[in-house]
Amino acid sequence: MNSNRVAAAAIIAIAAALFALTFGFERLPEGITRGFGAEVFPRLVLGVIIALAALLAFTAGKPDPLPRIPPMVGISGASLLAFMALLPVLGMLPAMFVFLVGLGWLWRERRPWVLFLSSVLLTAAIWAVFVRGFGVQLPKGLFA
Protein backbone atom coordinates (compact mmCIF):
# COMPACT_ATOMS: atom_id res chain seq x y z
CA MET A 1 0.00 0.00 0.00
CA ASN A 2 1.19 3.52 -0.85
CA SER A 3 2.64 4.90 2.41
CA ASN A 4 1.92 8.51 1.40
CA ARG A 5 -1.78 7.67 1.02
CA VAL A 6 -1.76 5.86 4.36
CA ALA A 7 -0.18 8.93 5.98
CA ALA A 8 -2.67 11.26 4.25
CA ALA A 9 -5.63 9.13 5.40
CA ALA A 10 -4.33 9.07 8.99
CA ILE A 11 -3.81 12.84 8.96
CA ILE A 12 -7.31 13.49 7.62
CA ALA A 13 -8.79 11.18 10.28
CA ILE A 14 -6.87 12.91 13.10
CA ALA A 15 -7.70 16.38 11.76
CA ALA A 16 -11.38 15.49 11.40
CA ALA A 17 -11.46 14.24 15.00
CA LEU A 18 -9.78 17.44 16.21
CA PHE A 19 -12.23 19.50 14.12
CA ALA A 20 -15.12 17.67 15.77
CA LEU A 21 -13.67 18.49 19.20
CA THR A 22 -13.90 22.23 18.44
CA PHE A 23 -17.69 21.90 18.69
CA GLY A 24 -17.18 21.09 22.36
CA PHE A 25 -15.32 24.37 23.09
CA GLU A 26 -17.20 26.70 25.42
CA ARG A 27 -19.42 29.15 23.51
CA LEU A 28 -19.32 32.79 24.59
CA PRO A 29 -21.55 35.68 23.52
CA GLU A 30 -20.65 37.50 20.30
CA GLY A 31 -19.92 40.66 22.31
CA ILE A 32 -16.96 38.94 23.99
CA THR A 33 -15.62 36.96 21.03
CA ARG A 34 -16.08 39.93 18.62
CA GLY A 35 -16.73 37.50 15.80
CA PHE A 36 -13.57 35.49 16.38
CA GLY A 37 -14.37 32.73 18.87
CA ALA A 38 -11.82 30.31 20.33
CA GLU A 39 -12.82 27.68 17.78
CA VAL A 40 -12.25 29.78 14.63
CA PHE A 41 -8.47 29.64 14.39
CA PRO A 42 -8.07 25.90 15.10
CA ARG A 43 -10.76 25.20 12.50
CA LEU A 44 -8.95 27.37 9.98
CA VAL A 45 -5.69 25.50 10.58
CA LEU A 46 -7.41 22.09 10.49
CA GLY A 47 -9.05 23.04 7.20
CA VAL A 48 -5.63 23.82 5.77
CA ILE A 49 -4.27 20.50 7.10
CA ILE A 50 -7.13 18.51 5.58
CA ALA A 51 -6.71 20.28 2.22
CA LEU A 52 -2.94 19.62 2.24
CA ALA A 53 -3.43 15.97 3.23
CA ALA A 54 -5.92 15.55 0.36
CA LEU A 55 -3.33 17.12 -1.97
CA LEU A 56 -0.75 14.66 -0.64
CA ALA A 57 -3.09 11.74 -1.25
CA PHE A 58 -3.88 12.76 -4.83
CA THR A 59 -0.43 13.90 -5.94
CA ALA A 60 1.67 11.32 -4.10
CA GLY A 61 3.93 9.28 -6.30
CA LYS A 62 4.59 5.70 -5.33
CA PRO A 63 7.34 5.80 -2.70
CA ASP A 64 9.64 2.87 -1.98
CA PRO A 65 8.03 0.41 0.41
CA LEU A 66 8.83 1.27 4.02
CA PRO A 67 11.44 -0.95 5.65
CA ARG A 68 10.26 -3.16 8.51
CA ILE A 69 10.71 -1.55 11.93
CA PRO A 70 13.46 -3.55 13.67
CA PRO A 71 12.26 -5.31 16.86
CA MET A 72 14.79 -3.31 18.92
CA VAL A 73 12.79 -0.11 18.20
CA GLY A 74 9.70 -1.71 19.70
CA ILE A 75 11.71 -3.03 22.65
CA SER A 76 13.31 0.39 23.26
CA GLY A 77 9.95 2.16 22.93
CA ALA A 78 8.43 -0.30 25.40
CA SER A 79 11.31 0.30 27.79
CA LEU A 80 10.52 4.05 27.81
CA LEU A 81 6.96 3.18 28.82
CA ALA A 82 8.24 0.64 31.35
CA PHE A 83 10.33 3.44 32.89
CA MET A 84 7.21 5.56 33.24
CA ALA A 85 5.38 2.64 34.86
CA LEU A 86 8.27 1.97 37.23
CA LEU A 87 8.69 5.59 38.22
CA PRO A 88 5.81 5.88 40.73
CA VAL A 89 6.88 2.60 42.32
CA LEU A 90 10.64 3.15 42.67
CA GLY A 91 10.92 6.95 42.46
CA MET A 92 12.71 8.88 39.72
CA LEU A 93 16.36 8.29 40.61
CA PRO A 94 16.17 4.51 41.22
CA ALA A 95 13.99 4.14 38.10
CA MET A 96 16.65 6.02 36.11
CA PHE A 97 19.36 3.69 37.41
CA VAL A 98 17.31 0.61 36.49
CA PHE A 99 16.58 2.08 33.06
CA LEU A 100 20.24 2.88 32.36
CA VAL A 101 21.34 -0.64 33.24
CA GLY A 102 18.33 -2.29 31.57
CA LEU A 103 18.38 -0.50 28.22
CA GLY A 104 22.18 -0.68 28.06
CA TRP A 105 21.93 -4.45 28.55
CA LEU A 106 19.16 -4.73 25.94
CA TRP A 107 21.36 -2.78 23.53
CA ARG A 108 23.99 -5.50 24.00
CA GLU A 109 26.43 -3.89 26.39
CA ARG A 110 27.74 -7.01 28.09
CA ARG A 111 30.30 -5.55 30.50
CA PRO A 112 28.39 -5.44 33.82
CA TRP A 113 30.94 -3.24 35.58
CA VAL A 114 30.82 -0.64 32.77
CA LEU A 115 27.03 -0.59 32.87
CA PHE A 116 26.90 -0.44 36.65
CA LEU A 117 29.58 2.22 37.05
CA SER A 118 28.30 4.53 34.28
CA SER A 119 24.72 4.23 35.58
CA VAL A 120 25.74 4.96 39.17
CA LEU A 121 27.82 7.95 38.08
CA LEU A 122 25.10 9.48 35.92
CA THR A 123 22.38 8.95 38.54
CA ALA A 124 24.63 10.48 41.19
CA ALA A 125 25.42 13.43 38.92
CA ILE A 126 21.71 14.07 38.35
CA TRP A 127 21.09 13.93 42.11
CA ALA A 128 23.99 16.31 42.80
CA VAL A 129 23.03 18.86 40.12
CA PHE A 130 19.24 18.81 40.34
CA VAL A 131 18.37 17.76 43.88
CA ARG A 132 21.30 19.32 45.73
CA GLY A 133 22.14 22.11 43.28
CA PHE A 134 18.79 23.35 41.94
CA GLY A 135 16.59 22.03 44.74
CA VAL A 136 14.31 20.13 42.34
CA GLN A 137 11.89 17.79 44.11
CA LEU A 138 12.02 14.51 42.22
CA PRO A 139 9.07 12.09 42.48
CA LYS A 140 9.62 9.57 45.26
CA GLY A 141 8.60 5.91 45.12
CA LEU A 142 6.39 3.78 47.32
CA PHE A 143 9.29 2.79 49.55
CA ALA A 144 10.68 6.28 50.22
Task: Note the residues at the interface with other proteins (CB under 8 A).
Answer: 3-4, 6-7, 11, 18, 21-22, 25-26, 28, 32-39, 41-42, 45-46, 48-49, 52-53, 55-56, 59, 63, 66, 69-70, 72-73, 75-77, 80-81, 83-84, 87, 92, 96, 99-100, 103-105, 107-109, 114-115, 118, 122-123, 126, 130, 134, 136-139
Q: Between 89 and 114, whose beta carbon lies closer to other proteins?
A: 114
Q: Between 70 and 143, whose beta carbon lies closer to other proteins?
A: 70
Rounded Cα distance, 142 and 128, in Å: 22
Q: How far is the CB of 132 from other proteins (least distance, A)?
A: 13
Q: Between 55 and 89, whose beta carbon lies closer to other proteins?
A: 55
Q: Between 110 and 143, whose beta carbon lies closer to other proteins?
A: 110
Cβ atoms of 42 and 91 within 8 Å: the answer is no
Provide long-range contacts, Cβ within 8 A and 24+ apart, for 58-65. 60/2, 60/4, 60/5, 60/8, 61/4, 62/2, 63/2, 63/3, 63/4, 65/3
Q: How far is the CB of 133 from other proteins (least distance, A)?
A: 10
Q: How far is the CB of 143 from other proteins (least distance, A)?
A: 18
Residue type for position 86:
L
Rounded Cα distance, 1 and 65, in Å: 8
